[in-house]
Structure 1
């Protein structure tokens, strides 16, 4: 491009104009998510990227120079979340995969994303979205993860926390392999700097110590199986335990679960179930059968092959038989519902793009699995709207449709409290006052597909 600065300036002006004008989304039914009621026949007035009123159509006061978006009886809700994502990394300054992922989320009604494997290239991506030069969801970024491979001492771990806070990351991600002294200094420093942290539970740390020392989110509901085992020493033998201790699930002592549930409540932990990761990555369906499912057309052939290669060794080792897998998946559903019904808050998460989980599309598979586990439609939607805002202590600022909140919402054909399938095909998406109709979303999907022609 000959004049990149001019191009960015034009984009900024265009976005500013789009936000500055008054928009009225009329003839819609509103699910605000403040409760489970539907406000029928409403209009939503948006100005400067904010909701300025939600009123019945009979009370709409027309104003000059406002843009009308006709809802035609659509249902409007605050949209979904992907609160465990692996945002692509920009390679040598090439941001194509990052930009594609942002559109894949938007096209599926996913308006807020928490990155859980950080990279320096994610910070300018977030800046571009916030400046309005790139369409995308609301991003919350974890820095590079803390693990046995990245942490070498307590002192180095503490400095790593300070560096990530200073760089502008929103969250810390912990991976396995941390020693107890390393973990404790990470927790202490993070609390001093007021940056939330969470992730996997290191075997040398364990679930109880993770809860007691400030984990904000337990990713994948990790650590619960291990904490329920009568003989914890077995978790250190990967051949015996299997991935995520899958092969020991038949040995769990369920009498220990009430104590863990109460600890989870007492320490105000959140859970990120990522049900679809376990259903697809560690499920009994053969890896090869995922190669040509519809959403794979939005990923490169190399990426899909990498995912197949990641699952195949478990299949060849005889681990992913239905006899091994089904009891484990059943236990995870029971664990989710036990925690949820006790009041432990749930975040909508699918771990995309990760093995066979395509950004945006995988959230709908996650929703199906949450429903199959027993969560109500309202509670599922809450996990992707109200709950993410609460997690980052920004309640009422977004994730809800009401006066003063950011204009982030999705239009769908049917009532999502009755029909979760309707979430898969948004009629339109509004993000901070910028509106993308179905034609625009389909155009962007077609571009991404063409980028990865087999």
Structure 2
């Protein structure tokens, strides 16, 4: 088991001495516990063996002289963020470099929980290495290989695939388009028997209503809602008329049907994973080439960036991604997002990274801005990346909050995130399982990743 590495900080977050300790006190901080929207001023957090033991006022710090003291310098502490729709890289011939880089890109951006949504066998040992302390990274929740029109050939095979993924140790199932109703029902029924959650895209031959009533726990990309609102479903089934994610039909949506869909979502207990930044970047009208040299692309290989450009360019060449088509579509998605949220449908923080122009960790901050622009409050945004993901996996109180007994996973930032979301982009320090990573360590790891992909 790896020992807990901490830094003694005197001021300005400059590390002077590295020491090993199982008991540490992060002092002189303001704490946003996320149990409510109040900030506890001038506090200290006592951590022992990776757990939060106590939150105490600074006046009581003198009672813990045996602890390693980390001076937080007046920083604000919150439980960190989540990326609950990620595509974790696959280890190629045993080479785990891209996986380990992605884990550090998440940590460097204050992302401490990741739900993988396209599974691969190489993800399971990655999770084990992180859990054991062999390598650094956020806590992982893994979906298995996806269920789709190409991976599923019959109801019987689909049911066996569910059993196999549960037995392998995956936490979740991911559904992609192309499933027939009988196949979907086999997946649904078997998953319920084995108590493994599932979610994903909504297959056109299944539809939103059957997906919700069949037990989808999360609707990724808010998939299926636009399609369910189109009066002439034959147009939805025609990709030339519908466009990507039914973009070209959004003006035909019958909004009188939306209240019933919202009610059904609430009744079935489904969650939404909006991935607003995926649509803003992949299907937005900003040209693909303009993303090539934006700052965070230096952490991705030239080949990966080119692949993303190649993925978007055909839509541009076909005249699909014009401002006339895209603007009303994105506005509709914002309306749908806020309608579901304001009705009480729980939301997960998701950005679909690494997908087209969404670099791990960095893309979460794009998602946060888009959620804010759509009208969600700062506190509710932070909930989507902390309290809500813990609730999703029935682990409320174990993480995603700063409280006695919770895992010592939290982030220090300069300003109060309830007032300034931009502060989330520059963590002063990240604490993961009680291990303290200061700004120097974060920048050191980012520099290594950049050097690996030098243009």
Give the TM interval when normalised to the shorter protein.
over 0.9
Matched with 1:132 is: 133
**What per-residue deviation string (whole Å, max 9, x for no partner) do you get for residues 292-313 of structure 1?**
0000000000000000000000
- DSSP-derived class of the 1:60 partner: helix
Matched with 1:274 is: 275
**What per-residue deviation string (whole Å, max 9, x for no partner) do you get for residues 415-452 of structure 1?**
00000000000000001111100000000000000000
Matched with 1:231 is: 232
Question: Under a length normalisation based on structure 2, what TM-score does the superposition of the two structures give?
Answer: 0.96
Mapped partners of 2:295, 2:149: distance in 1: 37
Map 1:242-257 to 2 at 5 A.
Answer: 242-257=243-258
Q: What is the RMSD computed on CA atoms of the aligned residues?
A: 1.1
Whether 1:14 and 2:15 are equivalent positions in the alignment is no
- DSSP-derived class of the 1:114 partner: strand
- DSSP-derived class of the 2:46 partner: strand
**What per-residue deviation string (whole Å, max 9, x for no partner) do you get for residues 159-189 of structure 1?**
0000000000000000000000000010000
CA displacement at 1:21 relative to structure 2: 1.3
CA displacement at 1:60 relative to structure 2: 2.4
Matched with 1:212 is: 213
CA displacement at 1:20 relative to structure 2: 5.7
**What per-residue deviation string (whole Å, max 9, x for no partner) do you get for residues 318-371 of structure 1?**
000000000000000000000000000000000000000000000000000000
CA displacement at 1:233 relative to structure 2: 1.4
Mapped partners of 1:200, 1:13: distance in 2: 39
Q: Which moved more, 1:61-70 or 1:418-427?
A: 61-70
Mapped partners of 1:167, 1:263: distance in 2: 33
CA displacement at 1:15 relative to structure 2: 4.4
Mapped partners of 2:119, 2:62: distance in 1: 46
CA displacement at 1:65 relative to structure 2: 3.8
Matched with 1:47 is: 48
Matched with 1:113 is: 114
Mapped partners of 1:226, 1:65: distance in 2: 61
Whether 1:400 and 2:401 are equivalent positions in the alignment is yes
Matched with 1:263 is: 264
- DSSP-derived class of the 1:14 partner: coil
CA displacement at 1:49 relative to structure 2: 0.2
CA displacement at 1:232 relative to structure 2: 1.0
Q: In 2, are the aligned partners of 1:19 and 1:433 still within 8 Å (CA)?
A: no
- DSSP-derived class of the 1:126 partner: helix
Are the structure 2 counterparts of residues 296 and 41 from structure 1 closer, same or farther at C-alpha, using a change threshold of 3 Å?
Answer: same
Moved over 4 A (4+): 15-20
Mapped partners of 2:5, 2:41: distance in 1: 31
How many residue pairs match? The answer is: 443
- DSSP-derived class of the 1:435 partner: strand
Mapped partners of 2:121, 2:267: distance in 1: 35
Gap regions ≥5 residues in structure 1? 1-11
Matched with 1:88 is: 89
**What per-residue deviation string (whole Å, max 9, x for no partner) do you get for residues 77-122 of structure 1?**
0000000000000000000000000000000000000000000000
Mapped partners of 1:201, 1:20: distance in 2: 49
- DSSP-derived class of the 1:359 partner: coil
Matched with 1:167 is: 168
Mapped partners of 1:234, 1:328: distance in 2: 16
- DSSP-derived class of the 1:399 partner: coil
- DSSP-derived class of the 1:304 partner: helix
- DSSP-derived class of the 1:283 partner: coil
Matched with 2:16 is: none
- DSSP-derived class of the 1:105 partner: helix
Q: In 2, are the aligned partners of 1:19 and 1:48 still within 8 Å (CA)?
A: no
